[in-house]
C-alpha cells in the first residue's frame, strides 16, 4: 500500500455507491491510503435519499484534528458538508491550517442536491462554500445544476443557465472569481455532440481538446473495425477545466448509455485528489486521468439495485496500462501505439510518396525503385514471420504468423505480375541490389529480440499499408477530392491495399496485437519497450519511402 494519504470530508452512503464509501474505494483503487471525516450519515440507496442525520459540528472538528494532527495528508477531497454550522467548522479548521502552510491541495465537490432531487446542502451553507472553502481550493468540481446555483448566488448579474458549451465556459469564468485556482465543470447532464465540441474549439482556438476513448486522425484501419464509430453527430460527454490562468481544457469521451452512474461526482473528485497526491505533472493531467478512470468505472459496472446503481470503483484494482476494448474503441492497444508515435506515424502514412501516388503524379522512376526494393523487403518480412512462428508458444500465434506468411506469398505473386506491367521481369527483381534503407529495415526485423517485440516491429508495416490503402480510398470518394483513381497508373496498388484480402490480414494483425496486450499485461517498462520498437519501425517505414523519393541505393 502506498504511503500517499488522501482525506475525504463528506457524508456517508448506506448503499455504498457514493459519499465516503465511494471515496475510500477510489483511494484504494489508486493505491492511496484513505482517511475519512464523516459530516453526516445518510439513509439512501439506488432509488434515492431517504434520510440525513448530521454529525455534531464539534465532532466533525474532532475528526479533522485527529486526522490532520497525526497523518501526513497529501490531498483533501470535500463532499457533502450538510449545513452551515458543519461547513463553517470545516472551513475554519482548514483555513487555519492553510495560513500556516501545512495544508495539501483541496478538491471541493460542492455537493448541493442529489441526482434524485434530495437537498444535501442547506441553503445557508452555500455562502460558506463560496466565500470560505472555494478560495482555499485547488479545484472545485460542480455539475451543471450546482454550477448554475453557485453562479446565481455569486450575484453575477447575468444569465447563469447552462444549455451549451459556450454558456458552460461563461459560468466557469464566473465561478473562478470565487478565488479557487480552477473549475472543473462536469457536463454529464448536458446533451452534446462531437460537432458541438468542434464548433466551440474553432471559436476558442486556444482551448485544448483532449479526446479520450475516441479514435482520431490516421486511424482508418481502426475505424473500419469499429461497431459504433464516433461521428460528428454522435453524442459525447465532456468536462470543462478552466484554470485561473485562463487555460481552458475540454475532455471529451463517448457517452455511455448506463444506469450505473450513482456516485460519479464523488468518484471523479476523489480520483483527482489521488492523482495530485501521487504527484501528477499538472492539474490537467490529474483531471484527465481521473475522468478516464470514472468513465471506465461506468463502462465496467454491473447492475446493482433497482435504480441508478454505482459504477465499478475497483475496475483498476489489478492495474492495466491499456484500456479495455469497447464498441467505440475495439483496438485500444493499437490506438495507444499510434498515439505514442503520432507524428512519425502521420509522416509515414501521409508521406509525399503516398500523396503523389494518390494523385497519379508520382514519377515512374520513383515507383519502380520502390517496388523493386519492396520485393526485396518482403523476403525479410516473410522470414521474420517465420521467426515469430518459431519463437511463439501458442498455436493461435503460430497460426496467425502462418496466415500472414500465406498472405505475403499471395502479395509476392501479385507483386511480380504488377511489376511486369512496368516492364520489370522477375530476374530483374532478383538481381536488384538492396538499398541501404531496405537492409537497415530488414536487419532490424531479423535482429529484434523476443516474440512480443517482433510483433510490434512487424505490425508497423502491415497496419501502415492498410491505413494508406483505406485513407486513399476514403479520400477518393470525397467531393472535390485530390485523389484521382481513374486513369491513375497506380490505381491497382491502391485497390490492392484497400482490398478485402489485405484488409483481412490487417484484421488478423489487429486481433493479434490486442490479444497479446491482454495476455502479456505489460508492465510500464515493458510497454515503453514496445512503444520504442513501434516508433522505430514507423521511422524505418518513412525512411523507406524517403529512399524511393530520393532514388537512393
Predicted confidence (pLDDT) per residue in 251-275, tens digit: 999 888 889 889 999 999 999 999 9
Q: Of 39, 141, 261, 294, which is the active-site residue?
A: 261
Q: What nine digits make up the cell of 157?
A: 448579474
Q: Is 263 a catalytic residue?
A: yes
Handedness of CA 123, 141, 280, 525 (dihedral sign): positive
Q: Which fold has domain 5-321?
A: 3.40.1190
Q: Is 266 a catalytic residue?
A: yes
- Alpha-carbon gap, residue 354 to 482, rounded angstroms: 12
User: Of 264, 267, 294, 335, which one is the catalytic site residue?
Assistant: 264
Of the listed ranges 107-111, 150-154, 222-226, the least confidently predicted one is 222-226
The rounded distance, in Å, linking the Cα atoms of 13 and 22 is 8
Assigned C-alpha cell, 485? 483513381
Distance CA(297)–CA(304), nearest Å, equals 14
**Best-predicted range by mean pLDDT (56-60, 145-149, 292-296):** 56-60
**43 φ/ψ angles, rounded to the nearest 5 degrees:** -100, 110
Q: What is the DSSP letter of 35?
A: E
**pLDDT tens by residue, 157-177:** 555 789 888 899 999 999 999
Residues in the chain: 553
pLDDT interval class at 553 (50, 70, 90): confident
Distance CA(551)–CA(435), nearest Å, equals 9
- CA 532 distance to own-chain centroid: 20
Instruction: Please report, for the chain, how many H helices and E strands are present, in that order.
Output: 21, 12
Would you state the pLDDT for residue 66? 98
Does the annotation mark 261 as catalytic? yes
| Comparison of pLDDT for 215 and 343, the residue scoring more | 343
Which fold would CATH assign to domain 336-550?
Answer: Heme Oxygenase; Chain A (1.20.910)
Q: Considering 11, 16, 263, 297, which one is annotated as catalytic?
A: 263
Q: Which residue carries 508497423 as its cell?
A: 460
pTM: 0.76
413 vs 405: CA distance, rounded Å:
13
- pLDDT tens readout for residues 487-546: 999 999 999 999 998 999 899 899 989 999 998 889 889 999 999 999 999 999 999 999
Q: What is the 3-state secondary structure (H, E, C) of 313-376?
A: CCCCCCCCCCCCCCCCCCCHHHHHHHHHCHHHHHHHHCCHHHHHHHHCCCCHHHHHHHHHHHHH
Q: Which three cell numbers stand for residue 378?
A: 518482403
Q: Where are the alpha helices (DSSP H) in 69-216?
A: 84-99, 123-128, 144-153, 165-175, 194-203
Helix (H) or strand (E) holding 137: none
Q: Enumerate the domain spans of the chain.
A: 5-321, 336-550
Distance CA 432, CA 428 (A): 6
- H helices present in 392-499, as ranges: 395-420, 426-431, 436-447, 451-476, 491-498
Rounded to whole angstroms, how far apart are CA atoms 227 and 294?
23
Q: Which of 366, 414, 345 is nearest to 548 (CA)?
A: 366
pLDDT above 70 as % of the chain: 96
Smallest Cα–Cα separation from 251: which of 202, 286, 298, 203?
286
Catalytic annotation present for 11: no
| pLDDT at 211 > cutoff 90 | no
**In angstroms, rounded to a whole number, what is the distance separating the alpha carbons of residues 156 and 305?**
41
Q: Of the listed 19, 132, 265, 466, which one is catalytic?
A: 265
pLDDT(216) > 80: no
| pLDDT of 434 over the 70 cut | yes
Mean pLDDT of the residues in the chain: 91
Active-site residue, selected from the candidate residues 82, 112, 266, 419: 266
Tell me, what's the pLDDT at 15?
Answer: 95
Concerning whether 19 is annotated as a catalytic residue, the answer is no
- Averaged pLDDT for residues 150-157: 80
| Cα separation, 340 vs 528, whole angstroms | 10
Catalytic residue, candidates 25, 77, 144, 186: 186
265 assigned to active site: yes
Count Cβ atoms within 10 A of the Cβ of residue 425 and give its class: 0-12 exposed, 13-18 middle, 19 or more buried.
Answer: exposed
Q: Quick one: what percent of the chain has pLDDT higher than 90?
A: 68
Amino acid at each position: 500500500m502506498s504511503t500517499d494519504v488522501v482525506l475525504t470530508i463528506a457524508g456517508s452512503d448506506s448503499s455504498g455507491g457514493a459519499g465516503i464509501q465511494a471515496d475510500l474505494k477510489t483511494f484504494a483503487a489508486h493505491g492511496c491510503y484513505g482517511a475519512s471525516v464523516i459530516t453526516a450519515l445518510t439513509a439512501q440507496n439506488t432509488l434515492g435519499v431517504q434520510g440525513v442525520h448530521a454529525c455534531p459540528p464539534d465532532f466533525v472538528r474532532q475528526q479533522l484534528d485527529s486526522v490532520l494532527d497525526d497523518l501526513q495528508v497529501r490531498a483533501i477531497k470535500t463532499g457533502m458538508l450538510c449545513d452551515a454550522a458543519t461547513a463553517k467548522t470545516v472551513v475554519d479548521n482548514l483555513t487555519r491550517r492553510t495560513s500556516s502552510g501545512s495544508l495539501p491541495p483541496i478538491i471541493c465537490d460542492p455537493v448541493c442536491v442529489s441526482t434524485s432531487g434530495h437537498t444535501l446542502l442547506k441553503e445557508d451553507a452555500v455562502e460558506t462554500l463560496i466565500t470560505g472553502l472555494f478560495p482555499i481550493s485547488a479545484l472545485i468540481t460542480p455539475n451543471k445544476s450546482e454550477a448554475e446555483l453557485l453562479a446565481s448566488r455569486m450575484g453575477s448579474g447575468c444569465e447563469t443557465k447552462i444549455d451549451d458549451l459556450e454558456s458552460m465556459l461563461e459560468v466557469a469564468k464566473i465561478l473562478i472569481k470565487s478565488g479557487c485556482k480552477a473549475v472543473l465543470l462536469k457536463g454529464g447532464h448536458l446533451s452534446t455532440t462531437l460537432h458541438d465540441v468542434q464548433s466551440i474549439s474553432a471559436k476558442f482556438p486556444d482551448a485544448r481538446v483532449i479526446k479520450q476513448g475516441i479514435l482520431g486522425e490516421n486511424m482508418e484501419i481502426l475505424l473500419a473495425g469499429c461497431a459504433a464509430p464516433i461521428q460528428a453527430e454522435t453524442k459525447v460527454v465532456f468536462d470543462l477545466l478552466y484554470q485561473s490562468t485562463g487555460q481552458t481544457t475540454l475532455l471529451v469521451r463517448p457517452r455511455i448509455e448506463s444506469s450505473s452512474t450513482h456516485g460519479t461526482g464523488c468518484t471523479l473528485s476523489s480520483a483527482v485528489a489521488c492523482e495530485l497526491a501521487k504527484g501528477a505533472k499538472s492539474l490537467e493531467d490529474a483531471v484527465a486521468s481521473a475522468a478516464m478512470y470514472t468513465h471506465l468505472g461506468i463502462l465496467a459496472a454491473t447492475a446493482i439495485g433497482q435504480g441508478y446503481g454505482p459504477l465499478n470503483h475497483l475496475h483498476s484494482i489489478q492495474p492495466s496500462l491499456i484500456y479495455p476494448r469497447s464498441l467505440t474503441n475495439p483496438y485500444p492497444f493499437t490506438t495507444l501505439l499510434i498515439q505514442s508515435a503520432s507524428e512519425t506515424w502521420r509522416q509515414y502514412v501521409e508521406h509525399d510518396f503516398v500523396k503523389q501516388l494518390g494523385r497519379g503524379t508520382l514519377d515512374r522512376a520513383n515507383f519502380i525503385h520502390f517496388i523493386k526494393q519492396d520485393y526485396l523487403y518482403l523476403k525479410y518480412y516473410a522470414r521474420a514471420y517465420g521467426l515469430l512462428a518459431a519463437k511463439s508458444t501458442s498455436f493461435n500465434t503460430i497460426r496467425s504468423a502462418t496466415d500472414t506468411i500465406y498472405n505475403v506469398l499471395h502479395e509476392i505473386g501479385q507483386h511480380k505480375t504488377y511489376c511486369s506491367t512496368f516492364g520489370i521481369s522477375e530476374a530483374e527483381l532478383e538481381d536488384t541490389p538492396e538499398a541501404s534503407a531496405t537492409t537497415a529495415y530488414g536487419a532490424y526485423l531479423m535482429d529484434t529480440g523476443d516474440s512480443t517485440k517482433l510483433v510490434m516491429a512487424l505490425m508497423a508495416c502491415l497496419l501502415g499499408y492498410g491505413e494508406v490503402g483505406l485513407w486513399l480510398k476514403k479520400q477518393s470518394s470525397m467531393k472535390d477530392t485530390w485523389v484521382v483513381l481513374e486513369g491513375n497508373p497506380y490505381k491497382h496498388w491502391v485497390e490492392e491495399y484497400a482490398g478485402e484480402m489485405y484488409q483481412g490480414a490487417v484484421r488478423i494483425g489487429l486481433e493479434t496485437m490486442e490479444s497479446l496486450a491482454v495476455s502479456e499485461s505489460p508492465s510500464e517498462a515493458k510497454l515503453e519497450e514496445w512503444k520504442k520498437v513501434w516508433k522505430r519501425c514507423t521511422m524505418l517505414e518513412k525512411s523507406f519511402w524517403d529512399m524511393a523519393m530520393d532514388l537512393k541505393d
